[in-house]
């Protein structure tokens, strides 16, 4: 018998599953699901729909990003103020984080189960036609729940919620415009691209990720929708994010790589592959534990929030999405002991935070781990073989792409994402080599890509809940 899924809930949430296809329009008579024989007017209408999805997603994802930035600053200010009264201040921070996390879990548990976790696996299942698109309420629950969970300090990223909100916006637009089921699925993929493009200021990576990971094909119609929506989302987000044309991270000027540095690049690829396998296993193990746990969902989330709040009280800079930590690694800063400790701490925080089953993504925590892994290899290399070791910042950049490749198994996306987010192109060749080694390592160890595992879990949870709803 399959383990109990966290989505197998009692009460009003069961009704969601009996109406899981709400907002899903059946194909209208004469509609077409492919580009074969599509008239120019049909192509233009479809592209226009994708543009609308992109624009709306860009605006929503941009406000989400702005609100999270304000929430992060408010959390740091609260911790700074609370240190003026250590005992009372610590309790206030811990209880505040616990309350915010439990509120996010309650929203998912009682209002919209489909808003749990990253959201990318759910979008992937919809794009593949394995589950219906779900209700429109995913959008507000994902937004508010994401602000609560990520803003409280959980080690989660903004990209997962942004991707799922883009997919849900596509469902709404497709329903209003009465697009066919096949078109709605393509628009969901397009909305996902726009969400990722806005979350990371990486419009090319947004499109490539959807084509490489979600739809896994490059046919003209899919590519058209994805690229149009990604570009439109990036452009509309610029209305709110005035710095949106700049890269998210900055790296120092890096020297061109040489063949003498190849052993260190190989070391980054190999260690990234091993750590990626361990990370995937740890995330899935934590989810299996919570799936079979009898601890109430809200109480479990409160405990996790309290734990993260305690860590944030001691070291407020190490909790949250971790963009500041990634930037620190890409600057080449740190000591061997300090980077090792941070790597271990963030590994554990990422796994525990995702087990809270609140809205939040995996991308940003992956970038923290990958960049610090590369930095660690660089720092050790400078002690062992200083003349053959690239700058630690260069290896941090390479590690970011390699670790992403090991966990997600999307090397092109990893390379493009790292390049767009840093505006650095000097390390493309070593990144390619490290990503190949990381992917080979993970494949040799038979580690299933993280989103494939999470998608299977999401589909299984949907089927179980749909069956229970049918029985009642």
Whether the pLDDT of residue 36 is over 50: the answer is no
pTM score: 0.88
Full DSSP string of 43-64:
HHHHHHHHHHHHHHHHHHHHHH
Residue 464's pLDDT band, with cuts at 50, 70 and 90, is low
Quote the Cα angle for 443-445-447, to 5°.
65
Residue 131 · residue 122 · CB < 8 Å:
yes
What is the pLDDT averaged over residues 107-127? 91
Q: H helices of 2-39, where? A: 13-18
User: Of 31 and 368, which is predicted with more confidence?
Assistant: 368
Whole-angstrom Cα distance, residue 163 to residue 399? Answer: 24
What is the pLDDT averaged over residues 152-164? 95
Whether the pLDDT of residue 43 is over 90: the answer is no
Fold of 259-452: Clc chloride channel (1.10.3080)
% of residues, the chain, pLDDT over 90 = 73
| Domain residue limits, the chain | 13-27+43-246+456-471, 259-452
Whether the pLDDT of residue 34 is over 70: the answer is no
The CATH architecture to which 13-27+43-246+456-471 belongs is Orthogonal Bundle (1.10)
Residue 467's pLDDT band, with cuts at 50, 70 and 90, is low
Q: Quick: pLDDT tens for 175-185.
A: 999 998 989 99
% of residues, the chain, pLDDT over 70 = 88
What is the pLDDT averaged over residues 240-254? 77
Check residue 157 and report its DSSP letter.
B
What is the pLDDT averaged over residues 305-311? 96
pLDDT value at position 42? 81
Average pLDDT, the chain: 88
Check residue 13 and report its DSSP letter.
H
Whole-angstrom Cα distance, residue 170 to residue 229? Answer: 10
pLDDT value at position 219? 82
Residue 465's pLDDT band, with cuts at 50, 70 and 90, is low
Torsion angle (degrees, nearest 10) of CA 159, 160, 162, 167: 140
Residue 258's pLDDT band, with cuts at 50, 70 and 90, is very high
Phi and psi dihedrals of 157, rounded to 5?
-105, 160
Whether the pLDDT of residue 470 is over 70: the answer is no
Whether the pLDDT of residue 117 is over 70: the answer is yes
What is the pLDDT averaged over residues 281-296? 93
Phi and psi dihedrals of 32, rounded to 5?
-125, 145
Residue 106's pLDDT band, with cuts at 50, 70 and 90, is very high
Note whether 13-27+43-246+456-471 and 259-452 share their fold: yes
Full DSSP string of 353-420:
HHTT--S-BSHHHHHHHHHHHHHHHHHHHHHH-GGGPPPHHHHHHHHHHHHHHHHH--HHHHHHHHHH
pLDDT value at position 226? 93
Whole-angstrom Cα distance, residue 373 to residue 370? Answer: 5
Closest Cα partner for 187 from 133, 238, 136, 142?
A: 133
Q: Which secondary-structure segment (H or E) carries 308?
A: helix 297-314
Residue 434 · residue 265 · CB < 8 Å:
yes
Given the structure tokens 């407020």, which residue do they identify? 316
Tokens of residue 107, six digits:
């929203």
Whole-angstrom Cα distance, residue 330 to residue 394? Answer: 7
Residue 3's pLDDT band, with cuts at 50, 70 and 90, is very low
Residue 298 · residue 105 · CB < 8 Å:
yes
247: left (phi over 0), alpha (psi -120 to 50) or beta: beta
Whether the pLDDT of residue 31 is over 50: the answer is no
Whether the pLDDT of residue 21 is over 50: the answer is no
């Amino acid at each position: 018998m399959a383990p109990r899924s966290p989505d197998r809930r009692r009460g009003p949430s069961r009704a969601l599953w009996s109406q899981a296809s709400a907002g899903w329009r059946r194909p209208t008579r004469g509609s077409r699901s492919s580009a074969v024989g599509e008239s120019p007017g049909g192509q233009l209408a479809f592209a226009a729909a994708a543009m609308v999805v992109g624009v709306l997603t860009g605006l929503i994802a941009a406000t989400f990003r702005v609100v999270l930035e304000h929430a992060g600053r408010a959390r740091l200010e609260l911790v700074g103020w609370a240190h003026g009264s250590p005992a009372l201040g610590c309790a206030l921070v811990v209880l505040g984080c616990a309350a915010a996390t439990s509120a996010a879990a309650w929203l998912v548990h009682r209002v919209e189960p489909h808003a749990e976790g990253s959201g990318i696996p759910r979008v992937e299942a919809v794009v593949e036609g394995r589950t219906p698109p779900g209700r429109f309420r995913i959008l507000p629950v994902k937004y508010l729940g994401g602000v609560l969970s990520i803003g409280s300090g959980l080690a989660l990223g903004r990209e997962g919620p942004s991707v799922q909100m883009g997919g849900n916006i596509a469902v709404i637009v497709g329903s209003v415009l009465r697009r066919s089921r096949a078109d709605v699925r393509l628009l969901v993929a397009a909305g996902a691209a726009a969400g990722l493009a806005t979350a990371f200021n990486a419009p090319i990576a947004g499109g490539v990720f959807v084509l490489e990971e979600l739809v896994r094909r490059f046919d003209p119609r899919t590519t058209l929708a994805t690229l149009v929506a990604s570009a439109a989302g990036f452009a509309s987000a610029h209305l709110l994010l005035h710095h949106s044309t700049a890269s998210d991270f900055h790296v120092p000027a890096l020297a061109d790589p040489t063949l003498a540095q190849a052993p260190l690049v190989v070391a980054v690829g190999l260690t990234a592959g091993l750590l990626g396998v361990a990370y995937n296993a740890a995330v899935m193990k934590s989810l299996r534990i919570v799936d079979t746990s009898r601890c109430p969902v809200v109480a479990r989330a409160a405990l996790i929030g309290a734990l993260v709040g305690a860590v944030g009280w001691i070291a407020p800079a190490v909790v949250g999405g971790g963009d500041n930590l990634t930037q620190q690694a890409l600057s080449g800063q740190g000591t061997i002991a300090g980077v090792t400790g941070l790597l271990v701490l963030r590994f554990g925080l990422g796994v525990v935070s995702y087990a809270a089953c609140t809205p939040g993504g995996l991308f940003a925590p992956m970038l923290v781990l990958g960049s610090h892994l590369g930095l660690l290899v660089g720092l050790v290399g400078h002690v062992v073989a200083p003349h053959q070791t690239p700058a630690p910042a260069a290896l941090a950049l390479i590690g970011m792409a390699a670790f992403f490749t090991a966990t997600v198994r999307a090397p092109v996306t990893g390379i493009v994402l790292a390049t767009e987010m840093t505006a650095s192109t000097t390390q493309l060749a070593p990144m390619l080599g490290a990503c190949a080694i990381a992917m080979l390592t993970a494949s040799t160890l038979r580690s299933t890509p993280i989103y494939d595992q999470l998608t299977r879990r999401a589909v299984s949870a949907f089927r179980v809940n749909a069956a229970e709803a049918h029985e009642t």
